[in-house]
Homo-oligomer: A and B are copies of this chain.
């Protein structure tokens, strides 16, 4: 059991990681980029079911600021932008795979809780 003297959890890499990946959208965006590779904005928006364009822009900017996603604009008409995972982003694969594996193992529980 923890004692009051224990180091605050906020200083730990676990909690800092949760701050970076907060919310369900970032995991879903990383999952999509891992699964489908580099994607244009429109493709990402379609793949991350339920997300709005505004929210996707916001989440991608945050992921970019943390070095998890890179944005590559092309000088086409109309302009196109592609998003990829960085090496740091790719290193999140074990987290995404663990969530996926748990979801598959608990399909029945998840379906019952709908």
A47 touches B9 (CB 8 A): yes
In the assembled complex, which residues on chain B have CB atoms less than 8 Å from the CB atom of A37? 1
> What is the total number of copies of this protein in its complex?
2
Q: What count of chain A residues pass the 8 Å CB interface test?
A: 59
**In this assembly, does A81 line the interface, its C-beta being within 8 Å of a C-beta of chain B?**
no
Docked pose: A12 CA to B96 CA in angstroms: 13
**In this assembly, does A110 line the interface, its C-beta being within 8 Å of a C-beta of chain B?**
yes
A6 touches B106 (CB 8 A): no
A15 touches B88 (CB 8 A): no
- Minimum CB distance partner of A15 in chain B: B28
- 9 interchain pairs, CB-CB under 8 A: A2-B43, A12-B103, A13-B100, A14-B96, A14-B100, A22-B24, A23-B23, A66-B109, A94-B98
